[in-house]
Amino acid sequence: MTARRIMIIDDNHMNLELVSYMLDAGGFVVKMESGAATALDSIPTFRPDLILMDIQLPDMDGLELTQRLKGNPATADIVIVAFTAYAMKGDEAKMLAAGCDGYISKPINVATFVSQVEACLSVPSSAGEPRIA
């Protein structure tokens, strides 16, 4: 079986390193990006199965990037999971309404994080059913 490909888009270097380490240990192929512009450049060649999308990015809001990717037929089937510290009432619904397929809040639970990501991959994005991990 081919390892699933995960792109992490987050401007916090410590988050990138921790999450990358955990996913790599979980058997995933991981690519880290610190901004939307570099992610847009590398998505066509990396071809992720899932993107962990920070919402507050320096060069473009993560929800705007999500809408761009979901609106493009070449990237619409990529599972996009909001990966954010926004955990106020209504934030999750806002992210799902913007096109995210799931939601994982920060700080992560290291004991369950990899299984949360695996759960988000279990149902194809095109099914139209939001997955919340």
Rounded to 10 degrees, what is the CA torsion of 56, 57, 59, 63? -60
For residues 95 and 101, what is the distance between their CA atoms, to the nearest angstrom?
9
For residues 105 and 26, what is the distance between their CA atoms, to the nearest angstrom?
19
pLDDT band at 86; cut points 50, 70, 90: low
pLDDT value for 18:
96
Average predicted confidence (pLDDT) for the chain? 89
pLDDT value for 85:
83
CATH topology of domain 5-125: Rossmann fold (3.40.50)
